[in-house]
Each structure stands twice: as C-alpha cells, then as structure tokens.
A and B are shown apart, each in its own frame.
Chain A
Amino acid sequence: MEEDKKNYREVFLPGDEVGGENQKSGYGTYREDGKIYSSHVGVRTGRNEFVNIIPLGGKYNPRPGDQVIAYIEEIGPTYWMTNINSPYPAPLHVNDTPWKVNFGDTAKYLEINDVIIAVISSVDEIKHVQISMKEHGHRRVNSGSIVEITPSKVPRVIGKGGSMISLIKNTANCRLFVGQNGRIWIDGEEEAIELAIRAIEMIERESHSFGLTEKVNTFLEEEAAKIFPQTEKTGEEEKEDVEESAEAEDAAEEEE
C-alpha cells in the first residue's frame, strides 16, 4: 500500500477539502466558508494560487477554440447535426464549411456517420454549441481508427509540450490527431494502429500515476520490437504530422 502512495497520485472525492484561505478555487472545485472543496472524483493539480481537480471521468465540456472530432448524426437542408461527445449536439452550418453548398445539397458533402475534424466556434451561456470547418486542417476523415478516452485525460495523452503524442507517433509509426473531446484518430499500418490504441488505453488506465511518459516509452519500445523487428530506425520519421492538437501547451499540466 505504501508503495502505491509513491507511484500514484492521491484521488480526491466530492466534498474533500483541497485548499484553504489563501488559494483560489479552480476547475473541479467549489468554495464554501473560505475553504476549497473538490466537486469531482479526481486528482489535484495546482497552478499559481489556483487549486484544480482533474476529474477521472465525465463528459466533454465544449469550449470555443477546441479542436474536436465530430460524428454526423443528422442532416438538414442547411446544416449537419453532429455528436461531439458532450451533453449537447453541435450544428455545423453550411456557411461554416469550406465548400459552396446549395440549399438541400448537404448530403452530397457529408453523410450520416461520417467523421470530421472541426473546431468549436461558439458556446453560449445555455450551452448552444456551434462548430466550424473553415480553418486549416479541418476535413472529413476517410481512413484510420477512432478511440475514445475520458476527455479530461486528453492532456495526459498529449503530454508536456506534446512529448507523449510524439512518442506514440514515432514509436508506433502512425498518424495521430487528438480531439479535445476525447476522441483520437489514428491512421497507419494495421499493427501500428493496434499498438497506438494499446498505448492510449494504458494512458487512460494509469492517467493518475507518476512517470507515465517513461512507462509508456518502455511499453512502446518493447511492443514495437515485437511488431517491427527489422525497422530499428524509427528515429528517421522526422516528417511529423502537421496536425498537433491546438492545445498542446494546455497539456503542460505538470507531467511529473
């Protein structure tokens, strides 16, 4: 048990006291009588004087500017209704796409069950969400696999300054895009995809442990050696994908 204490972060529960008078209540916490309490099951992080609780579960909370992976669920004459893994569906209006779509022609461009990479363009106070595909890199996804993880663990998958994501990309030799809504798109050889998925599942499972990058690195190297025995020169893969998640810095959540 004492061994566990060192390897894993302490898990806080709703109602646990996580901070005092001189600190500020950050995400996943609430203030009452001058003290700060956790409102989630999660691990504690602190930046400056803020105390945050990073939840270990829960749905995606849409924020403007987030890059997400959306599924088309419904088609209207001027919009598509998409699922972004949040409690609220997000419409994609034809004006927010790079195409010139005539009224009623929406199904020619995106069909139900298509997967797209888009950005959250606006969220209002009663959580009406809108997404857009106007920016660079937004497109329909035509190949590869999608895995879903808990959205609050996305920063762990990206790692400090993108360290974890590039580790997976390089070792497993695949293309990868992490949506802030917890969906991850992986493309490449079948074995590469499978290996990347296993690495991501490992991160999901052990997101509250210390030295995670190290662990994942060992895991990936061992497994990669089994799968690609002849290609020992994985370092050559310098041409990294343009698609880095926009909020890689956000991931600098003190990976330690």
Chain B
Amino acid sequence: MRPKRKSDNMGGKCDIQLIDDNGIRIDGRKIHELRPITIEAGVLNRADGSAYLEWGDNKVMAAVYGPREVHPRHRQKADRCIVQYYYSMAPFSVGDRKRPGPDRRSTEISKISAEALENVIFLDQFPRATIDVYVTVLQASAGTRCAALTAASVAVADAGIPMKDLVVSCASGKVEGKVVLDLVQAEDNFGESDVPIGYVPKTGEIVLMQMDGDMTYEEMEEAMELSINACKEIYEIQRDALIRRYADAEEVE
C-alpha cells in the first residue's frame, strides 16, 4: 500500500478545525478577510502586455500577445477577433508534481476565463485576429483561477487592447457552516462549498460563476455580496498596478 497523501483527503472530512471559536481561520484571517494581493504590470519585455500577481501564496504570471493572426485559419471569425486563453500550472506549483500540459481542469478554466474576457474586450475592432492570453500558475494555494483571471485582465489592458472595464475575480465559499471569503487550500479541500465569480465593477455584470459543493439560497446571496465587495477592493489594486507602471517609467529619466 502506498503511503497516505494529503490529496487522499480531498473533498472529504478532516479532523483539523478550520475556523476556531474566535472566528479565526487556519491561516489567521477573519472569515470576511482577503489574503494580501500585489500586482505588477508590464513585467515581460517580449509580450505585448503582461502582469505578475501574488495573492496570498498564489503566484501567477500572465502574458498577452496580439491582436495577431489566427492559426489555424479556419478558426478566424470574419467579423471579430477571438480570445484564446491558456491556463497552465507549472509542474512545481503544487505539492505533488503536476504533470505538465493541458488537462481537463485547465481546459475548462481556459474556456470559461476566455469567455469572461470576451465580455469586456471590444472584439469587433480586430476582425480575423486573435488575442492570446497565457497564464501560468507558478505557485498554487487555492483560488488560482480567480488569481489568473485577475492578472490576465491587467495584462490585456497593459497590451493596449480596447476594453470596457477590467474583469476582477474572487471566490467565496462555505466552511464549517460559515460563509467565508477567499478560501485557502485546506478550506477548499475540506470545506463544503467554493464559488468563484468574475465581476465587471463598472457595469456590475457577473461574467464568470462556478460552484463546487452546495449552499442554500441565503448562503449563496451572502457569498455573492462578499465576493462582489472583495472584487471592488481588488479592482483598486489592479488599477493601481496599471497607473504605477507609468509612474515608474517617469523615474527612470
């Protein structure tokens, strides 16, 4: 019999108390508190636009290329451009080695994230072209799809691509019967529910929503409110990253 791994418990019950009696979570946060987030825009020279994001223990690099020609040609759309999103996890990003290359999970995340971005990009300005977004998770600690999409939308703006607004993404869920914001690894594995959303602050649109596990209607409403408020907070960090990029340039002289 092989030794017992942490991943054997995924989605199951565990003995660890995830939220203590004072309402403090296992990483020391309150239940409605975000992990610290930092974003830096324009970090890659070769890409048309790029961003690096740290969200708690998550580390994500996003690079945008294009608009450029679509290959293979039959995927071109005559009246608009397409968005191709490539989410991938580095082999060293998780505890057990992640086998490199696309799998079911990353294909799914790529699809929904591309569709989220399509909602804010002015696609009709670049007929027959593609916008390629490559996001690599360098270090993962739950909520990587949110971190990836948040970084990707900064990178798209940095690439000078016209868009309505930035997309912000954040998750909330249910752990030990309580609705909590921004789950960490253990809470994701052993909690009851995880709901990531993609949000457009200017219009209030939800451009991405998934649910893992289940919640009651009331809990769901509470989770949505939490996520949306958190998204507005993260939005300011995204904006700051883009503005700082040009403030930094000034100091070079």
Q: Given A30-B164, A126-B128, A205-B249 in contact, is the A87-B67 Cβ separation under 8 Å?
A: yes
Q: Are B252 and A37 in contact (CB under 8 A)?
A: no
State in angstroms the CA–CA spacing of A22 and B35 once bound together: 43
Per-residue interface assignment for chain B, residues 26 to 65, with 1 indicating a CB less than 8 Å from any chain A CB and 0 otherwise: 0000000000000000000000110000000000000000
Q: Are A41 and B129 in contact (CB under 8 A)?
A: no
Q: Are B160 and A55 in contact (CB under 8 A)?
A: yes
State in angstroms the CA–CA spacing of A41 and B241 once bound together: 12
Number of A interface residues, CB 8 Å?
30
A14 proximal to B (CB < 8 A): yes
Q: How far is the CB of B122 from chain A (nearest CB, A)?
A: 6
Per-residue interface assignment for chain A, residues 61 to 87, with 1 indicating a CB less than 8 Å from any chain B CB and 0 otherwise: 000000000000000000000000001
> Which A residue's beta carbon lies closest to that of B239?
A13
Q: Which of A8, A30, A58, A206 has the most CB of B within 10 A?
A: A58
Q: Given A57-B158, A59-B160, A87-B69 in contact, is the A126-B166 Cβ separation under 8 Å?
A: no
* Contact-size category for B: 35 or more
Interface residues of A in 10-31 (CB under 8 A from B): 11, 13-15, 28, 30
Q: Are A15 and B252 in contact (CB under 8 A)?
A: no
Q: Are A8 and B250 in contact (CB under 8 A)?
A: yes
Per-residue interface assignment for chain A, residues 191 to 213, with 1 indicating a CB less than 8 Å from any chain B CB and 0 otherwise: 00000000000000110110000
* Residues of chain B contacted by A89 (CB below 8 angstroms): 69
A2 proximal to B (CB < 8 A): no
Count A/B pairs, Cβ under 8 Å. 89
State in angstroms the CA–CA spacing of A209 and B253 once bound together: 11
The binding surface of chain A is classed by DSSP as: loop
* Residues of chain B contacted by A57 (CB below 8 angstroms): 48-49, 158-160
A127 proximal to B (CB < 8 A): yes
State in angstroms the CA–CA spacing of A127 and B125 once bound together: 10
B24 proximal to A (CB < 8 A): no
B213 proximal to A (CB < 8 A): no
B91 proximal to A (CB < 8 A): no
* Residues of chain A contacted by B220 (CB below 8 angstroms): none
Q: How far is the CB of B42 from chain A (nearest CB, A)?
A: 9
> Which B residue's beta carbon lies closest to that of A209?
B250
> Which B residue's beta carbon lies closest to that of A215?
B253
Q: Are A88 and B246 in contact (CB under 8 A)?
A: no
Interface residues of A in 78-108 (CB under 8 A from B): 87-89
A121 proximal to B (CB < 8 A): no
A122 proximal to B (CB < 8 A): no
State in angstroms the CA–CA spacing of A243 and B161 once bound together: 31
Q: Are B69 and A15 in contact (CB under 8 A)?
A: no
* Residues of chain A contacted by B249 (CB below 8 angstroms): 205-206
* Residues of chain B contacted by A8 (CB below 8 angstroms): 246-247, 250
Which A residues form the contact surface with B (CB < 8 A)? 4, 7-8, 11, 13-15, 28, 30, 37, 39-41, 55-59, 87-89, 125-127, 150, 152, 205-206, 208-209
Closest 8 CB pairs of A and B: A58-B160, A57-B160, A15-B165, A39-B162, A87-B67, A87-B129, A15-B202, A14-B163
Q: List 14 A-B contacts (CB under 8 A).
A: A7-B250, A14-B162, A15-B165, A28-B162, A30-B122, A39-B163, A56-B160, A57-B159, A58-B161, A59-B67, A125-B127, A150-B160, A208-B246, A209-B250
Not counting A14-B163, A37-B202, A58-B159, a sample of 5 additional A-B residue pairs whose C-beta atoms are within 8 angstroms of each other reads A7-B250, A8-B246, A40-B160, A125-B127, A126-B127
Which B residues form the contact surface with A (CB < 8 A)? 48-49, 66-69, 78-79, 81, 120, 122, 126-129, 157-166, 201-202, 239, 242-243, 246-247, 249-250, 252
